[in-house]
Amino acid sequence: MYTAKKNITLILLGCLLLILAIVFTSCKKKEQAPQHHEHEHEAVLTEEASAAAAQIEQKTCPVMPQMKINPDVFTVYQGKKVYFCCPACKPQFEAEPEKYLSNLPQFQK
């Protein structure tokens, strides 16, 4: 009877180790899969950042040229982003965009 309990204990211990090995291997595979995806995502973000950096050659507000731009405040004019120092400058530009084009490097040729 003692050997039967010992055998059952060993079998249960073996099953537990097998289950832990399966869970550990499964978790490790799940951790590795997103890393590859994140790498691809980083490449996309890098391309987007390069495109954004190329478009943000504008450093100052077209309405108030002495002020630096706020990258969160912008409008799109003729397919290009135009940045402003503050939300108050945006409607002024939108009312008369031609008046401010000389202050915008993205429209200089």
More confident residue, 87 or 10: 87
The string of DSSP codes covering 77-98 is ETTEEEEESSTTHHHHHHHSHH
Instruction: Name 104's Cβ contacts closer than 8 Å, sequence gap at least 6.
Output: 58, 62, 82
pLDDT-derived band at 6, boundaries 50, 70, 90: confident
Residue range 39-88, pLDDT digits in tens: 555 555 555 554 555 456 899 999 999 999 999 999 999 999 999 999 99
DSSP secondary structure code for residue 69 in this structure: P
Separation CA 83–CA 89 (nearest Å): 9
> What 3-state DSSP class applies to 82?
strand
pTM of the prediction?
Answer: 0.51
Which residues face 76 on adjacent strands?
81
Separation CA 55–CA 71 (nearest Å): 11
